[in-house]
Structure 1
Amino acid sequence: MFDPIADEFDVDQTLDRGAAARAAENAAQVELILVALHYADLNAVVQPPPGGEIVPGIERLRVFGGEGCPPLAEFCAMEFGGRLGMSHGAAAAYLGEALALRHRFPKTFAQVLAGKAEPWRARQVARACLSLSLVAAGIVDDRVSGIINKVTPARLGRIVAAAKMQADPEKAKADAELFARQRGVWLGRANEHGTKSVIARTAAGDANRLDAAVEELAEILALCGDTDSHQQRRAKALGLLADPAAALELRSHGRRKAARSTSSAAGPASPVRPVDPGDTKLNAPAEAIAEASTDANANVSASASASASACATVDASARADGDTSADGGACADANVSRGGRPDADLSASRHVGADPQLAARGQSKELEDDLHEDGVDEDSEDSEDGVDEDVSLDRLLADIKYRSARRAPHTVYVHITDTALAAGEGVARVEGIGPMLVSQLKELIAHEHVVLKPVIDLREQISVDAYEAPQRIREWIKLRYPTPMVPWATTETTLSTDLDHVRPFTKNGPPGQTSTTNLSPVTRLPHNAKTHGGWRNTLLPDGSIEWISPRGARYLVDHTGTQYLGQVDLATGVFTASRPPPSVTLRLAEGS
């Protein structure tokens, strides 16, 4: 029974109660680690397959905690995670961390058992050193065991990183080389407000150049009337770089606007000098201009160190204005050409400052030269592309993006009710993003060339006779089940997710066995556990899935998530309520 906090507690008594609660939490975490170790000891063997035949996907022994840890039966993580409300991946990681503490970090583990080190900190150390050898892990153990509870988590992370390098310098060098080969760009998960993070790992020089390009476009947006904060404009600028032609055109427009502002501030413009037919400079061959421009825009990335890298996270949401320069920027490499001539490098060598008029004041001569080189007359009423210089920002971006040459196809699945569609307000769900306000759909697909496809009716049943599911069935399953239908799933269903025949497919069986009424998306380990590990599932009429583990644990998986239903006596099939947890605390065996 929960003991509520007494209203008459003063500040000191309330803090004492909080400290006691934290101590109880740590004690519970220690007990859970001991439970995990005991469970691991009970699952250190794999039953041989019937007939002794080894087939792909069969259960095997697997080391979860690193060198020096005993191997475990691979499917045991699914049973452990199911009862503790974890995905099988999180359960495998937890079991591995517990085993690593016992077998690779004995001094740190002793501190945990003595109540001198918080268990989550110790698990953090074990997780960070998973790839180290047993000897190197021992060196880290010596270094951190006495201070693990005395420093902040951030400092502990730095100490562990330094200790790893000292313990195994060759491994640290190999890891650095591996990290350089693991550069890439990833999309994070969308939040409920329709924003996503872009995560990039790239060479430091490329990151700096992208940061300069983003900054320049952000200042051009301000020059064109965007009143959002600096970071909001940087987020918009990153989105513009996804369409290089549009970004290039906006940049040219902004430079013309800056030059016009400079001319206005300086007074009446000087008379335009008549063109002299004999002026060889003005009549230089186009090939020579292109060659000179190409030379001026030579690739400068070669000067960046090949080994230098930067990891950055760019949040595309509307954030408060703040300095994020320490985090670097995401990466985009693009060689953009227009009119047959390479234009100026988007990642300009100069960095436009926070003052929107800096380009006009400090770089007017450079702008003027560039504009003459581009053949642009800054005294004309309209720009060369027909965009009115004084048009609103929204109209400007719409015109630029509409004329953009980029037409990369991209499919967007939108789930929306007829009521919300008619009213233009309400909530829609977008695949890969999540819930969005209907009004935000304009932001998602604005200025794109939209091709509407027929609505996929999820009430329609599709079936084929072959074992493999065709693309149209995979698409139906992806839309019907946004996440895999396994206990405590954490990933999203994709077109490549495993599809499980809930009623097993049989050769020479009835037609239509591969159908939307008999397929369920599953991740690979649960799929193998059902095929080879004794797990069973049943597709219910409402589309939910009931799973039963080899030990009789029942789980209901539906669109709301996972629910543990209790136990089934496998011998009799009788359902029993969940057994209460034992009251006796597990202790380590002598010598463990």
Structure 2
Amino acid sequence: MFDMLADADTGATTAADVLASAVSERQAADAAEARLLERAAVWADLHPPESLHHAATFGVVVPGSEHEVPIAGHGCPLVAEFCIPELAAALAMSTTAGKRLIGHALELRHRLPRLWDAVHTGAVPAWRARRVAEATIHADLTPTGARYVDQMVTPYASRIGIAQLDRIIAEALHRYGTHTTATAQESEAPHDPRYVQIDPPVEPYGGTALLRGELDPADAHDLETALAAGAAALKDLGSQAPLDVRRAMALGDLARHQNSLDYDTDPDETEHARPARQVVLHVHLAAAVTGQGDIEFDRLATLETGQLQVLLDQVRSWCTTTHTTVTVQPVLDLATRIRSAGYQPSTFLRDQVIERDRTCVFPWCSRPARACQLDHIKPHDPDDPDAATESGNLACLCTFHHRLKTHGGWRYRMTAPGEYAWTSPHGHHYLRDHTGTREQPRP
């Protein structure tokens, strides 16, 4: 329910009132975000590495148990890792997002103190300060380099753009280097800046993925030559796509080792020298039987990797590409209880649990189930029917949340197929199902 701002005489809402209210709400939100950063830093203070309870086991660290993790730049305090999901879940965010929040708070307080003060005086919005903190953490700047960025950015942080921020960080890297570089110099080991990173698609319905990296000059030259040749070959084959699009298509062909680009090589030799790489995509299509008995597919499909929505036409184009093998899995009844005799689930049982859960079932986690481990909700006991390896006692948990459930004091139970009730160490309750996560009132 929102309060309507009305003119005292006419009863109509005025533009000036709306603007004034919007500014007031924005200021209140900025102040709340600044306080949230401070709470995140205090939460980290309450969970230092000294809070770990290894002493209870006479100094013996149990495999998979909690340990200390660095979540901000060099010089920031370490944090006991299992405290992160507790705060994240309470704030209705994923563990990864919670780790980023706490990391930004520590980075600002310990390595960017001018910016930290500017946030709490209201001079700089918290979201802008967090963007700077993310950049300095990612760049792995030395403490001196971070102080340089803090000094250069803070006076202009309320209006600085990403490009200008990148230039300041690049100058700091040039002047002071990175913590990794400093460590390498101490050990007389050279720092290698090469990397390749592929970000998952962020747009629905088949959005593109961002590729970035640094290469050896010779490798970059060879890649540029291959992309130019591939783009030209696609044009010769009749492609009307723009040059940039054809270059992107050529890069995909290189990744798959498509023989269609090897015009100067004998086809028989190419087939043996450069076998096609196998790429596995799990695509889910909804289908229905029409009144005439035909099968009609929905126009949208779900790609398991990234839970991306793709169009049926895209799936058709993938399936009709040369050398593509399509495997159709049998339909699984997700409501049927399947049981395996021993500790390890059968392939059929594993597939059923993966299809039912789709993702890690920890609150707000979205890691694909196919990359997760299968957890016995009740520890496996061959003499206890409720603790057997069967559909009602298995759930998908990613590696970290599996460790958290085993060693971190979190408890959960299955309330219905694919529906889980979680309880945190501090007594917060969450219900997780295929629609997402909801916080539940305390009993």
TM-score (norm 1): 0.61
What is the Cα deviation at residue 487 of structure 1? 0.8
2:227 counterpart residue number: 214
1:415 counterpart residue number: 284
Residue of structure 2 aligned with 1:434, choices 304, 308, 324 = 308
2:37 counterpart residue number: 33
The 8 Å contact of residues 380 and 387 in structure 2, kept in 1 or not, is answered as: no
Seen in structure 2, the aligned counterparts of structure 1 residues 212 and 108 have a Cα distance that, compared at 3 Å, is same
Residue of structure 2 aligned with 1:524, choices 383, 399, 424 = 399
The 8 Å contact of residues 456 and 476 in structure 1, kept in 2 or not, is answered as: no
User: Counterpart of 1:551 in 2: which secondary structure?
Assistant: coil
Residue of structure 2 aligned with 1:481, choices 340, 351, 357 = 357
Pairing 1:175-324 to 2, within 5 Å after superposition: 178-181=191-194, 183-184=195-196, 186=198, 188-189=200-201, 191-197=203-209, 199=211, 201=213, 202-248=215-261
Q: How many residues align?
A: 420
CA distance in 2, matches of 1:70, 1:424: 54
More helix by share: 2
The 8 Å contact of residues 125 and 160 in structure 1, kept in 2 or not, is answered as: no
Seen in structure 2, the aligned counterparts of structure 1 residues 533 and 50 have a Cα distance that, compared at 3 Å, is farther
Pairing 1:425-464 to 2, within 5 Å after superposition: 426-432=299-305, 434-446=308-320, 447-459=322-334, 460-464=336-340
Tell me which amino acid in the other structure corresponds to 2:395.
S
2:342 counterpart residue number: 466
Residue of structure 2 aligned with 1:151, choices 153, 156, 160 = 160
CA distance in 2, matches of 1:549, 1:512: 22
Seen in structure 2, the aligned counterparts of structure 1 residues 133 and 458 have a Cα distance that, compared at 3 Å, is farther
Seen in structure 2, the aligned counterparts of structure 1 residues 412 and 520 have a Cα distance that, compared at 3 Å, is same
Offset from partner CA, 1:377-425 (integer Å, 9 cap, x none): xxxxxxxxxxxxxxxxxxxxxxxx9xxx955544443323442782355
Seen in structure 2, the aligned counterparts of structure 1 residues 423 and 62 have a Cα distance that, compared at 3 Å, is closer
The 8 Å contact of residues 143 and 163 in structure 1, kept in 2 or not, is answered as: no
What is the Cα deviation at residue 473 of structure 1? 4.1
What is the Cα deviation at residue 137 of structure 1? 3.5
Seen in structure 2, the aligned counterparts of structure 1 residues 189 and 464 have a Cα distance that, compared at 3 Å, is farther
Seen in structure 2, the aligned counterparts of structure 1 residues 27 and 520 have a Cα distance that, compared at 3 Å, is same
CA distance in 2, matches of 1:409, 1:156: 40
CA distance in 1, matches of 2:426, 2:296: 51
CA distance in 1, matches of 2:72, 2:329: 50
CA distance in 2, matches of 1:132, 1:187: 22
Structure 1: 5+ residue stretches without partners = 253-335, 343-400, 568-574, 576-592
The 8 Å contact of residues 318 and 324 in structure 2, kept in 1 or not, is answered as: no
What is the Cα deviation at residue 185 of structure 1? 6.1
Seen in structure 2, the aligned counterparts of structure 1 residues 57 and 422 have a Cα distance that, compared at 3 Å, is same
Offset from partner CA, 1:105-152 (integer Å, 9 cap, x none): 222222222222222232233333334454553444334333323422
Residue of structure 1 aligned with 2:370, choices 494, 498, 515 = 494
Is 1:109 the counterpart of 2:113 in the alignment? no
What is the Cα deviation at residue 84 of structure 1? 0.7
CA distance in 1, matches of 2:337, 2:280: 22
2:14 counterpart residue number: 9
Tell me which amino acid in the other structure corresponds to 1:550.
P
1:85 counterpart residue number: 92
Pairing 1:373-412 to 2, within 5 Å after superposition: 408-412=277-281
What is the Cα deviation at residue 159 of structure 1? 1.0
Greater relative contact order (Cα < 8 A, sep 6+): 1
CA distance in 1, matches of 2:135, 2:162: 13
The 8 Å contact of residues 464 and 511 in structure 1, kept in 2 or not, is answered as: no
CA distance in 2, matches of 1:240, 1:169: 36
Is 1:141 the counterpart of 2:146 in the alignment? no
Seen in structure 2, the aligned counterparts of structure 1 residues 96 and 230 have a Cα distance that, compared at 3 Å, is closer
Offset from partner CA, 1:154-202 (integer Å, 9 cap, x none): 2123213322442347755759965535x34647247532354262533
User: Counterpart of 2:93 in 1: which secondary structure?
Assistant: coil
User: Counterpart of 1:22 in 2: which secondary structure?
Assistant: helix
User: Counterpart of 1:436 in 2: which secondary structure?
Assistant: strand
User: Counterpart of 1:485 in 2: which secondary structure?
Assistant: coil
Tell me which amino acid in the other structure corresponds to 2:304.
E
What is the Cα deviation at residue 502 of structure 1? 0.7
Larger radius of gyration: 1
User: Counterpart of 1:129 in 2: which secondary structure?
Assistant: helix
**Identical residues among aligned pairs (%):** 29
2:267 counterpart residue number: 338
The 8 Å contact of residues 500 and 521 in structure 1, kept in 2 or not, is answered as: yes
The 8 Å contact of residues 144 and 160 in structure 1, kept in 2 or not, is answered as: no
CA distance in 2, matches of 1:451, 1:35: 51
